């Protein structure tokens, strides 16, 4: 494992992005420009995914209802249950506000871009990942406010309009993907001449997201709002939650008889939470609450999941298709 970490360039670059963001975070107008560049890179990535996948593969991905049901169950049932069960342990250690943030994180939908990118890097079923992760985010715009209203605010959430989020997801992800599908007869032959092109955008977009997200945390000064010990306990709590969910997200699809490609897609789509949708939703749902404390858990969890998934995705990429999935647990 140490050899893998030492020699894997992508893993090293992930750490470099975190260190770079801590030392030289992007902020102000530069952050806005960087955000635009990242958005363009993500759009190009999904355009390439659309051009790469055959129409038959997309239709098959949409029809894989067992995988989508599993991801939905993990995202909006398992995560919330684990978060609620952790209340007696976390509230005395973290305080009420940070626990609210931890629970809010458990209510969020899965990531879209990184789930699909990691699935692609790990040679999983990208078509199913696109459908499953996109569906998770769309339905999450409605389910997350309801869960927050019931279990955190104590009443139904009002004034949350998911229209903008749905439009943003559609324009950023689905439109480029559909455009890639439509132009596939012209684009795919050129992609065959540049086989590493999609991989470059896969890994490059993830690195940009890591740097941008961590820069936002540093600039906002969230790391200084809690003590070092409390921050350490929060990191441990997020790590334990991620470890448990990732283990279940790997073995449950195997128990259900999923093919390796589908197992990989389910693994990455089921085990992560979205920062991109989480922060804007928190700004609306927690008006008058300590927003910095609310979003800190998802910012920490986001960094941990990207780092861990980056290592695992590259590990899986190097394995032959016949590799026993149990080797991941060794």
330 residues of the chain, pLDDT tens digit each: 444 443 457 767 877 887 898 889 888 889 889 988 988 887 888 788 788 777 776 676 677 889 999 999 999 999 999 999 999 999 999 988 899 999 999 999 998 778 888 998 898 988 888 888 877 877 887 788 888 888 887 743 445 455 665 676 678 777 888 898 899 999 888 888 887 777 787 778 778 877 887 787 778 776 676 788 998 999 999 999 999 999 999 999 999 999 999 999 999 999 999 887 787 778 777 776 767 778 888 888 988 998 899 889 988 988 876 444 444 444
d(CA 253, CA 247): 11
Domain boundaries, the chain: 8-317
Angle, helices 126-151 vs 28-52, to 10°: value is: 130
Q: How far is CA 13 from CA 17, 185, 306, in A?
A: 6, 34, 12
Paired tokens of 41: 């890179």
* CATH of the domain spanning 8-317: 1.20.1530.20
**C-beta separation of 283 from 160 below 8 A:** no
Paired tokens of 126: 């990208």
**C-beta separation of 267 from 247 below 8 A:** no
End-to-end CA distance of the chain: 10
Paired tokens of 199: 């991989």
d(CA 29, CA 31): 5
The conformation of residue 222, written as its DSSP 8-state character, comes to G
Paired tokens of 298: 């998802």
d(CA 313, CA 330): 15
Which pTM was predicted? 0.72
The conformation of residue 212, written as its DSSP 8-state character, comes to H
Q: How far is CA 145 from CA 94, 153, 162, 186, 271, in A?
A: 23, 10, 10, 42, 20
**C-beta separation of 85 from 162 below 8 A:** no
């Amino acid at each position: 494992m140490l050899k893998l970490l030492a020699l894997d360039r992508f893993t090293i670059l992930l750490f470099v992005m975190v260190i770079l963001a801590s030392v030289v975070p992007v902020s102000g107008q530069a952050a806005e420009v960087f955000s635009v560049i990242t958005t363009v890179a993500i759009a190009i990535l999904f355009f390439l995914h659309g051009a790469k996948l055959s129409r038959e593969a997309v239709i098959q991905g949409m029809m894989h209802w067992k995988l989508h049901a599993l991801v939905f169950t993990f995202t909006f049932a398992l995560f919330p249950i684990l978060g609620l069960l952790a209340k007696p342990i976390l509230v005395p250690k973290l305080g009420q506000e940070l626990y609210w943030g931890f629970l809010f994180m458990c209510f969020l939908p899965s990531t879209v871009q990184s789930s699909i990118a990691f699935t692609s890097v790990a040679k999983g079923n990208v078509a199913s990942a696109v459908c499953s992760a996109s569906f998770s985010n769309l339905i999450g715009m409605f389910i997350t406010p309801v869960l927050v209203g019931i279990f955190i605010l104590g009443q139904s959430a009002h004034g949350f309009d998911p229209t903008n989020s749905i439009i943003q997801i559609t324009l950023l992800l689905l439109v480029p993907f559909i455009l890639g599908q439509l132009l596939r007869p012209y684009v795919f032959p050129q992609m065959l001449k540049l086989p590493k092109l999609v991989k470059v955008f896969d890994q490059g977009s993830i690195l940009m997201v890591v740097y941008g997200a961590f820069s936002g945390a540093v600039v906002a000064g969230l790391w200084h709002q809690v003590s070092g010990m409390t921050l350490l306990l929060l990191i441990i709590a997020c790590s334990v939650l991620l470890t448990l969910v990732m283990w279940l997200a790997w073995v449950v699809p195997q128990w259900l008889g999923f093919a390796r490609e589908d197992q990989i897609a389910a693994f990455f789509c089921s085990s992560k939470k979205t920062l991109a949708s989480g922060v804007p939703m928190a700004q609306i749902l927690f008006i008058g609450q300590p927003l910095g404390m609310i979003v800190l858990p998802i910012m920490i969890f986001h960094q941990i999941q990207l780092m861990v998934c980056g290592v695992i995705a590259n590990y899986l990429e190097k394995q032959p298709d016949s590799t026993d999935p149990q080797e991941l647990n060794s």
